[in-house]
Chains A and B, each alone.
Chain A
Amino acid sequence: MILNDEAIAKIKERVGLYPQSKSAILPALTIAYHQVGYLNDKVYKDIADIIKVPCVEIAEAATFYTMFPKEPVGKYLIQVCHNISCALLGADSLISYLEQKLEIKKGETTRDNLFTLVTVECLGSCATAPMMQINQDYYENLTREKVDKIIEELRAKA
């Protein structure tokens, strides 16, 4: 098993909350993602064994949701919105600035395994565009200066 005892216990607890164990697929995937950092076939198999749902159903759900990374990512997963509101307010130039700053292309991870940069569809924060999500936190009304500061802080924390 890739999942640790804590994750397994949490998943089992969630299964009991739904009339059908199938409903626990998404919570289980989220718990697994928080532990492992990404999802792959082995994780699906583990979840399938725990919640007793065919493995293929788990893989189908997991691949449908782009929010779950399917391969290892850096410590900080930077997800920049490139949908309409953010794009109008300069998301594209922000993305290329990040690429330049981190010396990676979008979809890649820095060599020190700290940052992974990806673009995503709307995160529902159009009022504060342009914006990005790093791990579980939103960073809004972005400018180049703000981005510099955020990256520095994260580097320092790591």
Chain B
Amino acid sequence: MADKQNPETGGQATVTLTIDGLTVTVPRGYTVLEAARSIGINIPTFCWHPKLKPVGACRICYVEIEKFPKLQVSCATVAMDGMVVHTNTDQVKNGRRAVLEFILLNHPLDCPTCDKGGECDLQNLTFAHGLDDSRFAFQKYRFVDDDMTTTFDDKRIGPEIILNRNRCILCYKCVRANKEAFGEYDLGAYERGNITEINAAPGRQVANPFSGNLVEICPVGALTNTDWRYKIRVWLTKTTPSICNFSSSGTNILFYKEDHKNKIYRVTSRRNDDIDDGWLADITRYSYQVITSDERLIKPLIKKEGKQVPATWEEALEVIKKRLNEIKDKKGGVCIGGLASPSLDNASLYSFAKFLRRTFNSNKLDYRQDYRMLPKDTANNYSILASQPFKIAGIDDSDVIVTFATDLLREHQNEYLRVRKAFNFKKARIFVANPYAVKTADVAELEMVYKVGTDEIFINAVCLAALEENLVACPDRADLKKKIKPSSLKDAAEQCGVAPETIKIMARALAEGKKVTFIAGELLTRCRDREIIASALCNLNRLFGLNRKGQIAVLARYANSMGAVKLGISPEPVPALKKELEKIWSGLPDTEAYNTDTMLVHMKKEEINGFIIMGANPVMLYPDREFVKESLEKLDFLVVCDLYETETTALADVVLPLAGWAEYAGDYINLEGCRQHAEQALKPRFEAYPGYEILEMIADKFEKKLFSSTEERESEIDRLLKVDTTLPWPDGFVEVKTAEIEIEKDYPLALFLCDDPHHCGHLTEKANSLVNFCGEAYIEMAEEQARAYNLNEGDSVRLESPIGKIIVPLKISEHLDNQVVLVPRNFTSHPVTSLLMRKRRIDWVRISKVAE
């Protein structure tokens, strides 16, 4: 509701009115409905949604306002000073009863077979108003499609949505949310009068990445989810509050489950305005199926004579103890390293680090499984940028928003919706800069597609525009000019392929903006030259004072990436954190620290011999698959814990079944540093254990208990989380080096790895509902590009890089318009990382048509 503050009307900022005899003061701009709800007076609604603009379509929220001749809809009536409102008089009750009678005219009253029964607004209100008969004596209007054989008009309008038009009361909430909040145009309301209907757009399916929300906000049973339909009644389920494990925002969710079957049936939102606004991405909604799938690892596996065979936990732990001890005795503990998934909870991550550092005196551990050549310590501009504070809700009231080097819809869907919201409600000016066109640009004032590999030059150009146009006061401008190349806007603009005029407009907006949010994302983090780009961004920040009048940050990507940083899972934690760790453990290992990349290199040289991987799948996700595979194969001993058998577990000597996030209670730290708790919804399935318990069991075998008690573990984590890990900005401007971009002859296209909007990482392929949205990899390219190669949608395309090739079907993009191709990395069947070269900045590829 705070969305509607900051009135532009001037005068008083609040109004005072009387509702049912109670006096209430609310910000100007609040509706009567919001004012009533703010003091706990409930007014029923169908079409109203707290995050959408009011339309007054259903009329059920009638109230009586003194001096108004007729009943008013409270959802669309703005509260005014001195209003006297009654919400419960006979007139109001009669009005609502009449509205209900009209709504029920054509309603099929099939509650006994309707999945909404028990949580249906219409059912509840009808019951409350005691309507038990209808005066409507004619035949009800029935929607029945030609291809329907039953009287139930159940129609699949999307991979996971069933529409029943007869139950629909035409509140238009789904259509409005789809267009307004999500910017998607695959659902509409057609015809008029009696035969008005909601349906998918002509020739399309409702398959957008937020489609699950449409079902959740439906006040009746017109839209239902295929995962929930006919499975269970809502009153037979229990709910458990939890946190999404596939987004870095930590979207708040509720699991609906049945205890005696140990089964989750669905996920709905647990609205938290500071984080998610009550919208869930489909990944969040359907990823519970990753846990409930029957393909899960059932028992530990031990490799015997080259084959993995099932074993008991005791056997597996004995083997781990024996083999790791052999390595430790022969070569020293420092030859043992580890990689943990940044989606694990705090306790597991912290136990992981403590186990490796304390038991083996090793500093060879990391949580980053998909970024090439990351820095191993934090003395760099990239780490400074990534450590800056960020507030998701801070996007809402920003007047200028820049998204740079990020495809929000594929990486940060929650923030994507926030940017749209800032545009819709606050008319924020949005600027999108990326090496390829993205969907966020729908709401952008300007979209700047700069040439591949010129990220830092683009940022330099923005700085130069500010200097040349005198947009900001900058005492050491000569210093800045010395440190960046080229030194004029004209040259820089030409190099990055964006018109200087366009860059000037953006620079002016950054200078004039009262609150600026600057978001950078995966394309920066994944880039080999992230340090160079980050340096350019440090200059940009200093020049425009962005962090002082807003926020600038590289968004963390995974559910607990921030937790991993704050608990020191990286090879060289932040100095302040190191000091605290030293205090807690009375000393830290002084051995050499390796990050993921150096660990893999040293495995290949047989200098790391034992390795523990928890929840990660580097074979699938780390650039250059062959390199990773060869490295892991060189190991003497590899332990992998995961929910499923993966490409990485296939190489392991011991595989341990890991419990999923819904199977244990845990804390996660989202991208803004907010610590959130997820409760345990299920008992671990099969023989799986949570990460921290597995580590505890292994540590016990080494007779070096990790913690004397759970409380000790929690208090150590608490102490670490209190450490401020924000790094100070550099003094003065920093030098932006010139990057060397390799050009591959005969490989003209730049390949960008991405996540499909319905997938994240390596596990979501196990969720059936998500596979229904997208079950196969594709190569996405501009229509013009496809035509140049004489390719049509769905054609098989051979995608080649200097080191590998894969064959994928073609998808013609609605957005792309330059020589760039995108391939999602989430599908086992298409190992796209095998095309990537480890040390490259740009992955050049070529394509050709596969003959039939």
Contacts and interface: CB of A to CB of B under 8 A. Distances in A.
B202 A45 contact: yes
B190 A60 contact: yes
B27 interface: no
B203 interface: yes
A45 B188 CA distance: 14
B191 interface: yes
Contacts of B202: 41, 44-45, 55-56, 59
A64 B188 CA distance: 12
A56 B187 contact: yes
A38 to B, nearest CB: 15
A59 B188 contact: yes
B191 A63 contact: yes
B190 A59 contact: yes
Interface in B187-206: 187-192, 201-204
Interface string B164-208: 000000000000000000000111111110000000011110000
Interface string A51-78: 0001111011001101000000000000
A57 B192 contact: no
A54 B185 CA distance: 6
A56 B192 contact: no
Interface in B43-65: none
B185 A64 contact: no
A56 B201 CA distance: 5
Most buried by A among B187, B191, B201: B201
B190 A63 contact: yes
Contact of B186 (A41, A56, A60, A64): A56
A64 to B, nearest CB: 5
B160 to A, nearest CB: 19
Contacts of B192: 63-64, 66
Contacts of B190: 59-60, 63-64
Chain A interface mostly:
helix
Contacts of B185: 54-57
A103 to B, nearest CB: 26
A60 B187 CA distance: 10
A59 B191 contact: no
Interface in A62-121: 63-64, 66
Contacts of B186: 56
Nearest to B195: A63
Contacts of B203: 41, 45
Interface in A7-57: 41, 44-45, 54-57
A86 to B, nearest CB: 19
Most buried by B among A45, A55, A56, A64: A56
Contacts of B188: 56-57, 59-60
Contacts of A63: 190-192
A54 B201 CA distance: 9
A57 B186 CA distance: 10
Nearest to A65: B192
Contacts of A55: 185, 201-202
A74 to B, nearest CB: 23
A45 B186 CA distance: 13
Contacts of A66: 192
Nearest to B201: A56
Contacts of A41: 202-203
A109 B349 CA distance: 73
A64 B186 CA distance: 18
B165 to A, nearest CB: 14
Contacts of A45: 202-203
B197 to A, nearest CB: 9
A59 to B, nearest CB: 5
A64 B170 CA distance: 14
Contacts of A64: 190-192
A4 to B, nearest CB: 21
Interface string B102-128: 000000000000000000000000000
Interface in B477-517: none
A144 B204 CA distance: 47
A54 B202 CA distance: 11
A49 to B, nearest CB: 12
Interface in B337-376: none
A20 to B, nearest CB: 15
Nearest to B190: A63
A60 B188 CA distance: 7
B705 to A, nearest CB: 61
A76 B309 CA distance: 79
A41 B191 CA distance: 14
A44 B187 CA distance: 15
A12 B796 CA distance: 37
B459 to A, nearest CB: 31
Most buried by A among B186, B187, B202: B202
Contacts of B187: 56
Nearest to B197: A63
B718 to A, nearest CB: 50
Contacts of A57: 185, 188
A70 to B, nearest CB: 10
Nearest to A64: B192
Given A45-B203, A63-B191, A64-B191, 8 more contacts: A55-B201, A56-B201, A57-B188, A59-B188, A59-B190, A59-B201, A60-B190, A64-B190
Interface of A: 41, 44-45, 54-57, 59-60, 63-64, 66
10 closest A-B pairs by beta carbon, nearest first, are A54-B185, A56-B201, A41-B202, A56-B188, A63-B190, A60-B188, A56-B185, A63-B191, A64-B192, A59-B202
21 contacts: A41-B202, A41-B203, A45-B202, A45-B203, A54-B201, A55-B185, A55-B202, A56-B185, A56-B187, A56-B188, A56-B202, A56-B204, A57-B185, A57-B188, A59-B188, A59-B190, A60-B189, A60-B190, A63-B191, A64-B191, A64-B192
